[in-house]
Each structure stands twice: as structure tokens, then as C-alpha cells.
Structure 1
Amino acid sequence: MRIDALQAERVLVDGELTAATVVVQHGRIASIEALDHPVDGVVLRVPDTAYVVPGVVDTHVHINEPGRTEWEGFVSATEAAALGGATTLVDMPLNSIPPTTTVEHLRLKQEAAADELMVDVGFWGGAVPGNVADLEPLWEAGVFGFKCFLAPSGVDEFPPLDPDQFHDALREVARFDGLMIVHAEDAQVLDVAPSEPSRAYRDFLHSRPDAAELTAIARVLDGARETGARVHVLHLSSARALDAIADAKAEGLRVTVETCPHYLCFAAETIPDGSSQFKCCPPIRDAGNREELWQGLRSGIIDMVVSDHSPSTAEEKGRGGGDLQQAWGGVSGLQVGFSAVAHEARRRGIGLEHVSRWMSRNTSDLVGLTTKGRIEVGADADLAVYDTGVEFRIEATRLAHRNPISAYDGITYGGRVTRSVVRGNAIDVDRPDHRWGQQLRRPS
């Protein structure tokens, strides 16, 4: 339903929780008034146990359509997003077929998404060997930046850049002041790491050592220093890189960093062997590392938290019968990420205003969507209602993800998203079938 206002005892405005009436006109926030402000029309009243926060802006999602829609797709991904409080997604250039590495391929992606979206969706481009000349046309066509790998991506159609290719692509992106986002694991370090077939999680962890991230991140930082490019480190899992990143920021390099809910919620020593639902690259590391990542967020070294929702079919996840070297690497967490991080933050005495900044404001700022990720006059009326009076018991078979596989299966969190609002349209959580989402392009 289209609402004219939302009223709640706790609305996150300018980093503070306050009782307020959020007045909506034409899909945007027209004013923020006192709680008792009279409003004509449809008013969504929020329970006293709930918080109203900006809709999550998840800038790291693999939707996989076209080409691998059986892994996920625009309908299932955006429904999962809406149910989890994410009102804006930016789709990765892989694992769709074809990948988003040319303007022609971007158009195919946009055609596949037409009339299929429950939330707003934008697109990343890809930097792969041989497509330097395609980067600026993609930028002009509206992608938000360019993803590259420094080690094999897991799919043949999106190969990694070697050091010279990475430098050439980075120099080109710097020329038109674009943004390069990097899967930072070093191919040479991975090549010499032990990688024998094994169901043991500790063996998989040894096959993706911290050194792979540290070496690759050093290359990213050196590239930013040499070219002046804006760079973004994707899905940081190793806290050992925090000092180098802090030094780079102090130096003035234009670098931002993200981590993910699964790195903040899980620990290697508690992952059962053969449990491929936890496999991702880089991997989930030990509990001490997890707490250092939380500290990195508190201190501002890590800028944001994104899902890195990377689903696959059960066949791909079960490839090798529990051999973690063969199973598809990726955690499905789009629908549960915000509730999981909010719960874990509360356990650590971290307020919801910080979680919202990491998952909404900072992510929207990364991609220049200045009307997203905030509750202020003129912003899009994209909101999430998070209720700590409602438990969230996660059952993978009841999530909107196309495939019922999740590392969060069986966990109960003390709080869940009970309603999302997309540009003033309140999504019915029992029947989330309205296609209110729009395709986004980079603001010029």
C-alpha cells in the first residue's frame, strides 16, 4: 500500500532516535514532524517495540540473472531484500551469463530486470582481461563502478586480472574518476597454499590464508597510490589487514573497505566439517579475528557492511559431497543480514544507529546515491521497521531465496524486520508481490 506518513516512537534521524511522524509525498520524505502531527491519508503506525531506520542499501549482491537464474533471479532476490529491510541493491557483474563487462551485456541485464523488481536495483560493471576500452562506455551508461578479481573468480567467463592488467585497468578508471572494487586475494599465494580435497573446515581455511588477502590489499593500495584511483576492498575477512588500511587512509589514499555479516556472526572453530553453506572466499576466520573486525568497524577503518549474497543451486553447493574445495563458495544471507548484524551489535553494546550507518548511509555514499540510506527531507521514502519485540527464527526453506540453503538456518535472533517501505510503498510481508522497484543508474 502507498502510505502518506509513518509514525513511530523511535525513528533514526540525523543519527539519533526520536519520536516522529515521517510525512511522504510522491515517494519522498516531505517533512519530519512531531509524533502527534495530524496527517490525512494512510498512516503506518509502528509498534512501540520497533525502530524505524533507513532502508538498507546493499551494494554487494549476486542476482545471477540472466544465465544462472536457477541460482537466484531478480524476483527472488528483490523479494528477499524487501523482507530483510534492504530497499536498494547493486548487482554484481558476475555470475550472470553474460557478465556485465560491456554496454551490450549491461543492456541484457537491464532487459532481464524490467518489471521484475520489488526494490530498487543498480548495476556494477566488470573489469576483466581485454576490456579496458569498455570501462568508460560502461561508466557513461550508468554503472556504479567496476569489479575485478586478483585471483580466479570461480566462473570461467569472469577471469582475474594479472598485476599488469590490474594496473592498466586502474589507470583507466582513475582517468575518468571511476571506482574500482576489488576481490582482494592474491593468486600466487593461493597457488602455493595447501588445497587437497577435504571436508575439514580447518583445511579449507588453510587453503585461503590471511597472506592472500594481505598481499592483494597491498597491491590495491599501491595501485591507488600510483594512479590516484578510488578503490574499494570487497568483503574483508582478515583483520590482519586493518593496520595497512588504516595507514593508507591516514596517508590520504581514496580507499574504502567493507566486511560482511557472516564474518561478524560466525567463527571458524564452530563450523562443522563438510558444511558447505558456510564456504565463502575469502573464508570465515576464527573468533578472535571476528572481534577485531568489529573493532575495525567501531574505529572507522572498515566503512560498511554488505551481504555478499552469493547463492547457488543445491547441486553446486553439494558438489564433491562435502569436499570444501569443490563446493560453490558463497553465503546466502540477503534476507537475514541486517537482523543478524543488529542482534550481534546489540550483544556488544553497539547501537542501531551505528549498524544503520554501516549498512545504509555509508553504502549509499559509496555509490553516490545521496537520496538513499537516510531519513531526511528530500530523501527517498525508503524505510525499514525493525522490531526487537519479535523473534526471528531462521528456516532456510522459508526464506525468499530461490534455493533453501543458508548458513543462518536454525538460528534465532532477538529482532527482525517486519516491514519495508520502498519510495513510500509499504510492502506486505505476507504477500510481497508488488513490483515497485526501479532500475538505478549512477548519478551524473
Structure 2
Amino acid sequence: MVRSTTPFDLVFRAQRLIGPHGETSGSVGIRDGRIAAVEPLDAELQATRIVELADDEVLLPGLVDTHVHVNDPGRTEWEGFETATRAAAAGGVTTIVDMPLNSLPPTVDTDALEVKRKTARDKAHVDIGFWGGAIPGKLDELRGLHEAGVFGFKCFLLHSGVDEFPPLDSTQLDTALRELAGFDAMMIVHAEDSDAIDEAPTPHGEDYGDFLASRPKGAENVAIAQVIELARRIGARVHILHLASSDALPLIASARAEGVRVTVETCPHYLSFTAEEIPDGATQFKCCPPIREAANRELLWKALADGTIDCIVSDHSPCTPELKRFDTGDFGVAWGGVSSLQLGLSAIWTQARQRGYDLSDVVNWMARKPAELAGMRSKGSIAVGNDADLCVFAPDDAFVVDVAKLQHRNPVSAYHGRPLAGVVRETWLRGTQIAGDGADTSQLHGKLLTRGEV
């Protein structure tokens, strides 16, 4: 038995704990907001406060979501840092990285980054990092943003949906990747080919099949091939965002085997829903690239298992109910994006357990790997020296999603009415409870993160 004579601020005792090497039992000692000890369950760790998890609860590391559209400032009516970070905390997410577009101004230079930081500073219930943007006319700003601490850079290869964040053409993408390779920064890419989509049928009306045909797999496949070839030639680091097309998986696996520096994410909605089940006019399911067929979904799950897909992040892209055009149900004009920041863990656990995966797999995909992707060395796992970011999860509990009870600003979600397995009971950020019974949500505990300091 391990006996500690130096008291900790807080100790968790858990019959089930997901550590770096899988599930175990254990005691976790926390001092000054960091994990200072991970010992056997019977270790006599002294602390000011001891939290004993119930028999049906599992201690997880706080999730890291590297793909969140907060839309603040400028489109705060779509979401905002206050509501987004409350939703994150309620869903067991302790760290988010905010996308550079849909806010006004977009985060494409250091002045805009400072505006974003100033906006977020007094609204952070969880830790927040920032991506920079790579757009035409602003490529000379990339180094300055990198030095200011963004975690990498996002670009589009087709219209982003907002005019102030235009796409890069092939020449501009080449230029940007060469610039980023000079200081080993990562480019994260919305990989759909504009020409392929221009040649596809124009989306209109309530039929989801028509919308699906307007964003074919080929648009993803061609764009991903282009990004991989440039990364191979230049030696740049690239990351494929929100992969929906299973057809691209062999290309990605082959490139990685050849040493191309490419990583890949997918999202809960691509792993939960199928095109066949989306009703006519149900624009809450619209996102780009789109939710595809059931067989495609199963191939994405297999790619997670074999490591071709690295991680799962939300691509939380909310808007006001009016922009979803529920009045007409027209997929052609509705805003594309699925709101899921609070629901990702339960959504993925619901699907993962049905396929024989365990909580260690889910933690790997939703905490450890996203943290590694962003270079956050002190996040994503229950390990000595890491931030004491923790989630108390009840995997055998269940609930039915009610949008009126979510922390998101707007009551819109594709998950409304859907039964999900697993309930987040408590969330802790650096040893302070930020969600669940007993949490003091009137106080702000989140920090603004800078690359290299996490």
C-alpha cells in the first residue's frame, strides 16, 4: 500500500479509470491544478477533499475538441463563447480550439486574433485555443499568427459559406504550405473540390438525396488527393477535416505508409447518422460534407479502429433556427452545420459500444489524439504532470436528447429526440468542478491557450 504524508488538494478514487494504458482502478491526487499522483485504489493519499466515484461511474480525462465554431464576435447570435463553453463543460469537454471563420473579423491576422482573445477572455468556462485562417491576400500574416500562438491554420478549397473567408486555389495552397513548412506549422483543410461540386447537381428542395448528390464523394476524394500530393512534395504537415467519404481511406492510408505527414478527423454525426434515415426537409442534418450512407459509416468506424482516422471532434457549427429554414425544409438554402458540442461523448459511446469498442477507445479518439494533434502535451490523459481535467461519466446511464435542455445558444440539433447511452455527471477543469451537481458555474475557470505553453 502506498501512503502519502504530503496532502493533496483533491483526490479522486475510482473503481474504473481510463488511464494512458487502458482501463484500471486508481486514486488520482491533484495539487495546484495538476495531476500529481496516479496510484492504486488502496493508496492512502491524504487530501483536503476526497471524491469517491459511484460504482456505475468511470473517471475519464476531459475531452479535447479541436473543431468548434464559436462564431464570436460578430455572429454571437449563432453561439458565442459563453454558451459554447458551458455546453462543452456539460458534455465533458474541457478544452476547445476555435475555428477562425464565422466570427467577424475572421482570425486571419494578429489584430483579429487579439479581438478574438479579448472577446473570449471573460466568457471561458473551459480552456480555449485558436486556429488561424489562411485566405487569399493574407498569406503574409501566417508567420505572425504562428508566433502569436495559434495552433495551426485552416483553409478551404471551395466557398466557405461566408464571403469574408474565401478559399485558396491550387497555387495559393502551394504557397501557403511552403510558408508553413518553413516553421513546421500545420494546415487543416476543408477538403472538397470546388470544380467537382460545380459540376454536380444543384441542391434544392426537401429531398435529402438531392442534397447528397450535390456534394458527391468524388469532391472529397479529389481534394484530399491534391492536399496529399502537395504535402508529399513540400514536406508540409496537413490535417483533413471532417472526413465523410470512405472512398478516400485507402489513399490516406497509402500516403501515411509512404511517410506523408497527414492526419485525419471525423465527427460524431458521420458516425451516428445515415443518409437513408434522414427525413425530407430535416435540415438540422445538413452539413458539408454531408452525412452519407450506412455502408460508408461502417467503413469510417473500421478506419478509426485501424488508425487511418486519428480522432473524433464535433465540428460544432451552429446557427439560428431561422437559418436552418425549417419553414421550407429546403436543403439548398439552409445553413450547413450540426450542433453537437455537448453531446459528442454520449453520441460516440452509444455507437461505439454497439460495435464492440470500449471507453479506452473513445478516450483515445476524443481526448488523447486531439490533444496530440494540437500539440497539447498537458491535456488528454490522466497522467502525472498533466492538467487535472477530468470527466465523471456513467456509461450505463441513458437519456433522450431535448434541445431545450442543452447549453447551446439555439435549440437546434440533429440529435433531438434521440436516446443516447452514457451521461456526463461531473466535469473538472484543473481540479475545479465546472459542471454537474455542486459545480459553481457562476465563476469562470477557463484559460486562453497559446501553442507551446500547454
TM range (shorter): over 0.9
AA aligned to 2:446 is G
**Residue 26 of structure 2 aligns with which residue?**
20
AA aligned to 1:434 is Q
**Residue 345 of structure 1 aligns with which residue?**
352
**Residue 160 of structure 1 aligns with which residue?**
167
- Given the alignment of the two structures, is residue 443 of structure 1 paired with residue 452 of structure 2, yes or no? yes
**Residue 29 of structure 1 aligns with which residue?**
35
CA contact (8 A) 2:283 2:326 kept: no
**How many angstroms does 1:203 deviate by?**
0.3
**Residue 15 of structure 2 aligns with which residue?**
9
CA contact (8 A) 1:364 1:373 kept: yes
AA aligned to 2:81 is F
- Given the alignment of the two structures, is residue 423 of structure 1 paired with residue 433 of structure 2, yes or no? no
CA contact (8 A) 1:55 1:88 kept: yes
**Residue 92 of structure 2 aligns with which residue?**
85
SS in 1 for 2:369: helix
**How many angstroms does 1:196 deviate by?**
4.2
Match of 2:442 among 404, 414, 433: 433
Change (3 A) 1:249 1:320: farther
Q: What CA distance in whole angstroms lies between the structure 2 residues aligned with 1:45 and 1:247?
A: 47
**Residue 192 of structure 1 aligns with which residue?**
199
**Residue 402 of structure 1 aligns with which residue?**
409
**Residue 336 of structure 1 aligns with which residue?**
343
Uncovered stretches (5+) of structure 2, i.e. residues with no partner: 1-7
AA aligned to 1:11 is L
Superposition map of 1:281-430 within 5 A: 281-318=288-325, 321-430=328-437
Superposition map of 1:45-56 within 5 A: 45-56=52-63
AA aligned to 2:324 is K
Deviations 1:78-112 (A, max 9, x none): 00000001000000001100000000000000000
- Given the alignment of the two structures, is residue 275 of structure 1 paired with residue 290 of structure 2, yes or no? no
AA aligned to 1:315 is E
**Residue 223 of structure 2 aligns with which residue?**
216
Superposition map of 1:208-247 within 5 A: 208-247=215-254
AA aligned to 1:421 is W
- Moved segments of 4+, more than 3 Å: 430-433
AA aligned to 2:254 is D
Match of 2:102 among 92, 95, 108: 95
AA aligned to 1:174 is A
CA contact (8 A) 2:13 2:28 kept: yes
Deviations 1:246-288 (A, max 9, x none): 0000000000000000000000000001111100000000000
**Residue 120 of structure 1 aligns with which residue?**
127
Q: What CA distance in whole angstroms lies between the structure 1 residues aligned with 2:269 and 2:316?
A: 10
- Given the alignment of the two structures, is residue 66 of structure 1 paired with residue 91 of structure 2, yes or no? no
Q: What CA distance in whole angstroms lies between the structure 1 residues aligned with 2:20 and 2:140?
A: 42
**How many angstroms does 1:427 deviate by?**
2.1
SS in 1 for 2:48: coil
- Mean CA deviation greater in 323-332 or 11-20: 11-20
Give the alignment's TM-score, normalised by structure 2.
Answer: 0.96
**Residue 3 of structure 2 aligns with which residue?**
none
Q: What CA distance in whole angstroms lies between the structure 1 residues aligned with 2:299 and 2:203?
A: 29
SS in 1 for 2:397: coil
Change (3 A) 1:277 1:285: same
Cα RMSD, aligned residues only? 1.2
CA contact (8 A) 1:230 1:254 kept: yes
CA contact (8 A) 1:75 1:116 kept: yes
**How many angstroms does 1:392 deviate by?**
2.2
**Residue 150 of structure 1 aligns with which residue?**
157
Deviations 1:223-262 (A, max 9, x none): 1011110000000000000000000000000000000000
AA aligned to 2:387 is D
Q: What CA distance in whole angstroms lies between the structure 2 residues aligned with 1:255 and 1:389?
A: 36
SS in 2 for 1:415: strand
AA aligned to 2:342 is Q
CA contact (8 A) 1:21 1:34 kept: yes
Change (3 A) 1:319 1:128: farther
SS in 2 for 1:164: helix
Change (3 A) 1:271 1:106: same
AA aligned to 2:240 is V
Give the alignment's TM-score, normalised by structure 1.
Answer: 0.98
Deviations 1:184-240 (A, max 9, x none): 000000001001422100000000000000000011001101111000000000000
CA contact (8 A) 1:319 1:326 kept: no
Q: What CA distance in whole angstroms lies between the structure 2 residues aligned with 1:55 and 1:215?
A: 35
Deviations 1:356-405 (A, max 9, x none): 01111110001110110011100100111110242122101110000000
Between the two proteins, the alignment pairs up a number of residues equal to: 443
Q: What CA distance in whole angstroms lies between the structure 2 residues aligned with 1:361 and 1:14?
A: 8
**How many angstroms does 1:319 deviate by?**
6.7
Uncovered stretches (5+) of structure 1, i.e. residues with no partner: none
CA contact (8 A) 1:235 1:282 kept: yes
Q: What CA distance in whole angstroms lies between the structure 2 residues aligned with 1:427 and 1:101?
A: 31
Q: What CA distance in whole angstroms lies between the structure 2 residues aligned with 1:367 and 1:296?
A: 21
Deviations 1:41-87 (A, max 9, x none): 11122111111111100000000100000000111000000000100
SS in 2 for 1:4: strand
**How many angstroms does 1:429 deviate by?**
2.1
AA aligned to 1:148 is C
Q: What CA distance in whole angstroms lies between the structure 1 residues aligned with 2:399 and 2:384?
A: 32
**How many angstroms does 1:3 deviate by?**
5.9
